Structure 1
Amino acid sequence: MSGEVPEGWTIGPMVQFFELQRGHDLPAQSREAGGVPVIASNGIVGWHNQSPLSGPGVVTGRSGTIGKVNYIKERYWPLNTTLYVRDFKGSEPEFVYRFLEHFPLTEFQSGTGVPTLNRNDIHPIDVVFPPLDEQRRIAEVLRSVDNAIAAAQQVAEHSRALQSLLTTVQCFGHGYEMINLGDILADIRYGTSVKCDANEADGYPVLRIPNVVNGRVELDDLKYAAVSDADLRRFGLEAGDIVVVRTNGNRAYIGRSALVADGAATCLFASYLIRMRFDTRRAWSPYVYAILNSQPVREKLLKAATTSAGNYNINTTSLKGIAVPLPNLETQHQIGEVIQLATEAANACEDDVKHQQRVKANIMSDLLSGRVRVPA
């Protein structure tokens, strides 16, 4: 590593401050209810009661999900897809957790298929550690930051739940006529499968599954593709379109949708998404979008999903067959505007969580580098 070592801190190989060990096999049938958590590379995957390790423990992904770090205060069992801290060597366990949470573990993964993290690749890396008392103070500050973020997340979850309840009551509580989505569509199609290997100057931005987040189109981390004028017309988005996630390994993501606003109207959409464009004489897309995210319709979408090769899928035929309540256009606008206010409030709460997470990242960078010191 480079840079000046803060006064009182120690520089040395990572293994000088703590040692990682590969996790252990545990047959799926041994994961009994109750007992201690079984930790995989992506978090808790079950429970069991046999010969657990004593906490506190720090566990990170060894294969599969790299970069996620778990802190376990009580007893636990780390699976063989993880690396866990076998010996803290006098370091504060919670500080080690914070250190690994901030450390760029994904930069050291290898493998052409399933990414893998080898402890021997990171043990020799030089790092700087503060003295034990400062480790504890830093951990305490970051714990307080996490508590604030958790409180903001709870507010956001309650706000989103209120929006969902309002949608259900407003749309399904008045006996409106049920109409299949296919009867009010002007167009529905899968996205482009063209390779996204162009740059911003030579191609058009392409929305992918990661860009459909919390009911919104996020224009971060866009990929670009060079397409013909014909494909631009076929796969271009317009304000008021709705894009739907059609395939994913996580069942909860199936049917997740977003309403396209003006800012995304210059984008294309990828093949894992479906675009719906509605007959404006019969349907107002913000109202339909609200319906698609209501609990009754989400349940229908998940029921219609099929499985193949470990993925869940929904197709255009299933979407067209989903029945939704459809009042007249004036009522759609009235309901949609009320729901939009609730949606904006929920979005604001979620944006606050994201802001606090960015602030946390900056605080971690300052504290774990010693640029900012926590006084005794």
Structure 2
Amino acid sequence: MNGWNQTTIGDQITLQRGVDITKKETVFGKVPVISSGGISAWHNQPINEGPGVVIGRKGSLGTVWWSEGPFWPHDTTLWVKDFKGNNRRFVYYFLTTLDTKGLDVGAANPTLNRNHVHPLPIVWPTRSQQDEIAAVLGALDDKIELNRKTAATLEAMARALYRSWFVDFAPVHAKADGRTPAHMPPETAALFPARFGPDGLPEGWNMEPLKLHVNVQKGLSYKGAFLASETDGLPLHNLNSVATHGGYSDQGIKFYNGEYRERHVVQAGDLIVANTDLTMNEIVIGFPAIIPKRLGPSGLFSHHLFKVEVAEGSPLSVPWLYCALSSSWIGRSVRAFANGTTVNMLPKDAFEIPEIPCPPKKVVETFDAVVAPMFEKQDDLQLEIQTLAQLRDTLLPRLMSGELRVGEAKELVEDVA
């Protein structure tokens, strides 16, 4: 390892304990408060202007967070106060490889002491080598972040279009005022009426019970003994598969090789809805997700989820229902049925009693033709994120140890990023 030197962590960086801040003291702003588990709040003043690196000190031991801009490191963390001329992003990547298990000094709660971290012996590259390594790994992370932002934009676009057409009725308002609906081809505009009925809905649309349009099935009550590896079981979508405020989260996926029934099977493209929330925040319960194709053609879903299918003869669709259940109108009507003291539960009644404004089938089909490609693109972006993250995680320890030359890593990265 030419140019790499024996040193200690304390010789290369200075770690400082984070600063406590209570909920009462927090003034909402643009500065992330970074705790050991990640961003826990937003404040109006930073401790450091960034870019910076934060490492979990208490609770989630050794978790590492990068902040591109100003940040507030919480008391449950350590943060790099002095980089001593080293590449900041390289320091971030280095700390992600640090094994903190043997450094826990907590009794009941895992705790990391900076005075035990500073003396650790390490092998350290020159600044120019740091720059090259950080550039290679940073290119992957930058592409991952770009994909995430693009996926989030597509999600926002789909939800905004749903709101425009089916909540605000913008095309109908425009035609009623004698205007041409904005950003809409004539053949699409022709699908919307030019006036409202006495019920306040677009003329020809009706309020109908949601139960006429959906079939709801509760998932598999599984046994932990039958959880398996990815190669030995079927994907088991569960409560953690639904992201906060809707959307699919890969972090929750499990695999199962026990018994199940046909009604517990889901296909790629099916709609699932969380029926349980371990908190009372209502940021997951009642929110939907669409099963992605990247996890295979079929799988199972747990009892903490409902599978919501479009009933035969209904003009509605999975993309329409997904956006509707994510919305503040229909989604809130469904989530209003959640109840519980310690665990929030959503009964099937939540899909039977609420009424929805039912649009004509042709309008829904036109909506699907616009948003379905957005959801498919999201799936492709998430699959690419997984591929990029796997490559980064493979290269990271080899680059940090000097086992892999930067030139070789660059060639691998250029093929995908």
Match of 2:67 among 66, 71, 96: 71
Percent of pairs with identical residues: 25
Give the TM-score taking structure 1 as reference length.
0.73
CA–CA separation in structure 2 for the residues paired with 1:43 and 1:133: 31
Q: How does 1:177-188 map to 2 (within 5 A)?
A: 177-188=206-217
CA–CA separation in structure 1 for the residues paired with 2:144 and 2:232: 40
CA–CA separation in structure 1 for the residues paired with 2:226 and 2:58: 27
2:184 equivalent in structure 1: none
Whether the 8 Å contact between 1:56 and 1:72 is mirrored in structure 2 is yes
Give the TM-score taking structure 2 as reference length.
0.67
For 1:6-33, what per-residue CA distance to the aligned partner results, in whole angstroms no more than 9, with x for missing partners? 2111245544533544434334333345
Q: How does 1:315-354 map to 2 (within 5 A)?
A: 315-327=347-359, 332-354=364-386
Secondary structure of the residue aligned to 1:274 is strand
Q: Which amino acid aligns with 2:237?
A: L
CA–CA separation in structure 2 for the residues paired with 1:236 and 1:267: 6
CA–CA separation in structure 2 for the residues paired with 1:247 and 1:150: 30
Q: Which ranges of structure 1 fall in alignment gaps of 5 or more residues?
A: 1-5
Match of 2:57 among 53, 57, 62: 62
Whether the 8 Å contact between 1:204 and 1:225 is mirrored in structure 2 is yes
For 1:172-212, what per-residue CA distance to the aligned partner results, in whole angstroms no more than 9, with x for missing partners? 54533232322333343354153354436986643213444
**Distance of aligned partners of 1:44 and 1:184 in 2 relative to their CA distance in 1, 3 Å threshold:** closer
Deviation for aligned residue 1:243: 1.4
2:162 equivalent in structure 1: 167
Q: How does 1:90-109 map to 2 (within 5 A)?
A: 91-103=86-98
CA–CA separation in structure 1 for the residues paired with 2:274 and 2:108: 24
CA–CA separation in structure 2 for the residues paired with 1:14 and 1:279: 61
CA–CA separation in structure 2 for the residues paired with 1:235 and 1:108: 44
Q: Give the paired residue count.
A: 364
Q: Which amino acid aligns with 1:96?
A: V
Q: How does 1:81-160 map to 2 (within 5 A)?
A: 81-86=76-81, 88=83, 91-103=86-98, 117=112, 126-140=121-135, 142-143=137-138, 145-160=140-155
**Distance of aligned partners of 1:116 and 1:195 in 2 relative to their CA distance in 1, 3 Å threshold:** farther
CA–CA separation in structure 2 for the residues paired with 1:34 and 1:337: 39
Deviation for aligned residue 1:143: 4.7
**Distance of aligned partners of 1:220 and 1:317 in 2 relative to their CA distance in 1, 3 Å threshold:** closer
Q: Which amino acid aligns with 1:195?
A: G
Deviation for aligned residue 1:137: 4.2
Deviation for aligned residue 1:130: 0.6
Match of 2:12 among 11, 17, 20: 17
Q: How does 1:234-253 map to 2 (within 5 A)?
A: 235-237=264-266, 241-248=270-277, 249=279, 251-253=282-284
1:292 equivalent in structure 2: 325
Whether the 8 Å contact between 2:338 and 2:344 is mirrored in structure 1 is yes
CA–CA separation in structure 2 for the residues paired with 1:356 and 1:46: 29
Whether the 8 Å contact between 1:138 and 1:374 is mirrored in structure 2 is no
Deviation for aligned residue 1:116: 5.0
**Distance of aligned partners of 1:209 and 1:288 in 2 relative to their CA distance in 1, 3 Å threshold:** same
Whether the 8 Å contact between 2:51 and 2:66 is mirrored in structure 1 is no
Deviation for aligned residue 1:147: 4.3
Whether the 8 Å contact between 2:240 and 2:249 is mirrored in structure 1 is no
CA–CA separation in structure 2 for the residues paired with 1:198 and 1:35: 41
Match of 2:237 among 200, 207, 215: 207
CA–CA separation in structure 1 for the residues paired with 2:393 and 2:22: 37
CA–CA separation in structure 1 for the residues paired with 2:306 and 2:82: 50
Q: Which ranges of structure 2 fall in alignment gaps of 5 or more residues?
A: 170-191, 193-201, 409-417
Q: How does 1:258-297 map to 2 (within 5 A)?
A: 258-260=289-291, 267-282=299-314, 285-286=317-318, 287-294=320-327, 296-297=329-330
